[in-house]
Structure 1
Amino acid sequence: MADAPQEQIAPLLNPEGWELLASLGPYNEDDALRLNASLRKAGHSPELVSAALTQSRLRTKAETKFGEFARQMIFTQAGLEQATRLTVAARHAQRFVEAGIGHVADLGCGLGADAMALASMDITVTAVEMDETTAACATMNLIPFRNATVVHADATSVSLDGIDGVWLDPARRTTSSAGTKRLWDAEDFSPPLSFVESLARSGRAVGVKMGPGMPHDSVPADCEAQWVSVAGDVTEVALWFNAVRRPGIRRAALVLGPQGAAELTSGEDFGSGPVPPVGPIEGYLYEPDGAVIRAGLVADVALELGGHLVDEHIAYICAPELRDTPFARAYRVLDVMPFNVKALKAWVKDEGIGVLDIKKRGTAVTPEELRRQLLPGGKSGGRNAARKTATLVLTRIGEDRVAISVEPVH
């Protein structure tokens, strides 16, 4: 996970640098220039001031993933982008605890989020990171844990003798002077998926975090695949092998939200399972959570709701009655119209709509462009902010494109 040069971290790894960083409050972009000048005037070197302000900015950004722990951690930009949220890392670690695993190698540990979670559950952790800067960050982040050791090495070359569990978060981006670039082929990851599978064949308990867009045909046959969403954002698919794989589960959708955790599972392979009916747009329209869609469990949710798909190829569900579910967001259907820009523009005018939320699935229409065409002034808000708010769902039924006026159910 090559990232920021070592020079951006090194100035902080001494008492002066650490004390300066600890003295900074939450990062404020509007105040950054003034603070920069003030710190230099106080006698701090430009290199130290730059490093400290960069870390202050990253720490503030990291609070969404790490909460209050972010205030004591060291970050890199690319490392933070890929880092596991602590709430999710804790669930990873719990798998190893429940399997009775005592020593886990975190191969490609990045900034150490998963290693922190493992170590906090009294598991001995060997955290391995190939990038020197990132390894330095992980070392600092794991200082509170005596049972965690950071090794600066290639994950594929480290001895696993005496280690009964392995966790991997392969680097899925490359970094250059032009910035970071996402990789899509699992064999281009570092380490590649084939290496993960070779570890699983050794019989060890193996878990690996992959990007949520992983195609079903790329998921190995001998694992459990669990897609995870946090507050509606699909963050990963974790593949679990051997002792950390749950019996009878092939695919799962774990939904973490304000109301807690909910999970939907299936023992069927991808492409198998129940076939829901297809029916009219009526009553309530449900938009399944992204983890449910990725895990191929939309049909299961439709049947649970007593509903049907509006089109067999599109992940929108309709049901005549409202039912509470953590696996989909519900909308009350108000009107169904053919998709026609001129007619929709007249509808917006007649209804006095000034703020328009547009959702779409199964159509190439760009919501931002359509909003500009439909609203007076071309966008929501502004002078229209006090006017009526509406939600429009664009989709298709067979070859016909339709626009559905809906009202969110809170």
Structure 2
Amino acid sequence: MDVAELTALLTPEGLRLLDSLDPIDSTADVAAAVTRLRKDGHSPDLVSAVVGQARLRQRAEAKFGEFAQRMLFTRAGLEQATRLVVAAKHAGRFRDAGVETVADLGCGIGGDALGFAALGLHVEAVDADEITAAIAAYNLAPFGDQVSVRHGRAEDADLAGVDAVWLDPARRTAGHKETSRTRPEDWSPSLDWALDLASRIPTGIKLGPAIDRDLIPDDVEAQWVSADGSTIELVLWSGTLAREGVRRAALVIRDDTAHELTAAADAPDEPVRALGAYLHEPDGAVIRARLIGEVARSLDAGMLDEHIAYLTSDAALTSPFVSTFRVVDELPTATKELSRALRDRGVGRLEIKKRGVDIDPAAYRTALKLRGPEEATLFVTRVGSRRRAILAERVRRPASAA
């Protein structure tokens, strides 16, 4: 989105036109909407803006639910925005720490600020991109004077009267089309600047979950977060926002239910044991936080291989921190023999999970030439020096652990 499109959109006519559009899910929908709106005499800038926003609103429902239809977005802003359920968890930590005013530095389209404001916190939001700041101001306007949004650099923000900071360093590319988190020295602000600030004022720093762990200071709480099976972020908490005695945490959110595992340090793994009746796949946040050992002990489980993040046990125990599978059989690993074994069992739909082996699950599934009415899960992994193929069926979580 450019300035001309934003100017056309932020008018009564533009916003009414946007709200009147039917959902736009595909490129065919985009083409049809553009053709109809141009035929109706609307300007190219307005048509581009409202059609683009209508499509982004559809995509945003995964993060913002019904609120997405009342918000505006940039593509990069939506990509980087915190899901509303996760933002609410973060906001609760600020509130519980006694924070009344939080500076949201690098606020993006305002996803986290929505969470803060919804819990009654005063928010001073800043974004270095003028268009993104304008969109954040629109999204946060219902909160009135409780929230202020300013166009500016995080490094130049006046923190007088601020109790704590929320910081999301990233590099936004021109055109607001994508974001990059690959090199800390390219982030804006830099990671060094963010960590220095965190040493002086209570701060939450949102980072990508795959960041080099050597960059994490020893005196902060590192919390990895997953939502509905995807590991989405790492947050470093400092000062009063960090919990006493906690340096590693895995927050696992499924739908609206959250479970958390915490520890004072990386947990030692349990010893390797032979394949048992059950196979457990730890959640990505647990793996990133290196708390697999804590989960293993709760399940009376051991490692399948000391270098592979699969657990095995004989006990029929489940946990919100793993996906559990009942082992059906161990099958040959050669494609021809494996294909025959699966066809003999009538397996036509196969979920393939792999670790420690170099295969493309989609190509592998095609090569197996499956047919039949049954479905199953196949783990293709390495145990010691051997490749192993383990057929399993998923154990559904109890409703209380869903």
TM class, shorter-length: over 0.9
Q: Deviations over 1:163-195 (max 9, x none)?
A: 121001112x44257963633222321111111
Structure 1 segment 10-409 matched on structure 2, within 5 A: 10-29=7-26, 30-146=28-144, 147-171=146-170, 173-176=171-174, 180=178, 182-202=180-200, 204-258=201-255, 260-268=257-265, 270=266, 273-375=267-369, 384=371, 387-409=373-395
Could you tell me which amino acid in structure 2 is paired with residue 403 of structure 1?
A
Q: Higher mean Cα deviation, 173-182 or 145-154?
A: 173-182
Could you tell me which amino acid in structure 2 is paired with residue 396 of structure 1?
R
Q: Deviations over 1:52-87 (max 9, x none)?
A: 111010011101101111111110001100000111
When residues 26 and 390 of structure 1 are mapped into structure 2, their CA distance, relative to the original with a 3 A threshold, is same
Could you tell me which amino acid in structure 2 is paired with residue 285 of structure 1?
L
When residues 258 and 323 of structure 1 are mapped into structure 2, their CA distance, relative to the original with a 3 A threshold, is farther
Corresponding residue SS for 1:405: strand
When residues 144 and 176 of structure 1 are mapped into structure 2, their CA distance, relative to the original with a 3 A threshold, is closer
Q: Higher mean Cα deviation, 6-15 or 35-44?
A: 35-44
Could you tell me which amino acid in structure 2 is paired with residue 35 of structure 1?
A
CA contact (8 A) 1:278 1:309 kept: yes
CA RMSD across the alignment: 1.8
CA distance in 2, matches of 1:275, 1:152: 47
CA distance in 2, matches of 1:290, 1:350: 33
Q: Deviations over 1:98-136 (max 9, x none)?
A: 111121110000001111111222211110000111111
CA contact (8 A) 1:129 1:151 kept: yes
CA distance in 1, matches of 2:51, 2:42: 12
Could you tell me which amino acid in structure 2 is paired with residue 164 of structure 1?
D
Corresponding residue SS for 2:86: helix
CA distance in 2, matches of 1:18, 1:177: 21
CA distance in 2, matches of 1:181, 1:109: 14
When residues 137 and 51 of structure 1 are mapped into structure 2, their CA distance, relative to the original with a 3 A threshold, is same
Corresponding residue SS for 1:143: helix
Corresponding residue SS for 1:198: helix
Give the share of equivalent positions with the same residue, in percent.
47
Report the alpha carbon displacement of residue 6 of structure 1 after superposing the two structures with TM: 2.3
Report the alpha carbon displacement of residue 155 of structure 1 after superposing the two structures with TM: 0.8
CA contact (8 A) 2:327 2:390 kept: yes
CA contact (8 A) 1:174 1:183 kept: no
Q: Higher mean Cα deviation, 67-76 or 24-33?
A: 24-33
CA contact (8 A) 2:76 2:172 kept: no
When residues 122 and 178 of structure 1 are mapped into structure 2, their CA distance, relative to the original with a 3 A threshold, is closer
Using the size of structure 1 for normalisation, the TM-score is: 0.92
CA distance in 1, matches of 2:320, 2:235: 20
Could you tell me which amino acid in structure 2 is paired with residue 409 of structure 1?
V
Q: Higher mean Cα deviation, 342-351 or 303-312?
A: 342-351
CA distance in 2, matches of 1:33, 1:51: 14
Report the alpha carbon displacement of residue 348 of structure 1 after superposing the two structures with TM: 2.7
CA distance in 2, matches of 1:183, 1:95: 25
Report the alpha carbon displacement of residue 395 of structure 1 after superposing the two structures with TM: 0.8
Alignment length (residue pairs) = 394
CA distance in 2, matches of 1:152, 1:21: 25
Q: Higher mean Cα deviation, 388-397 or 306-315?
A: 388-397
CA distance in 2, matches of 1:34, 1:353: 42
CA contact (8 A) 2:2 2:175 kept: no
Q: Higher mean Cα deviation, 259-268 or 281-290?
A: 259-268
CA contact (8 A) 2:64 2:84 kept: yes
Corresponding residue SS for 1:144: helix
Q: Deviations over 1:326-352 (max 9, x none)?
A: 010111101123522232122233333
* Structure 2 stretches lacking a partner, 5+ long: 397-402
Report the alpha carbon displacement of residue 259 of structure 1 after superposing the two structures with TM: 6.8
Corresponding residue SS for 1:22: helix
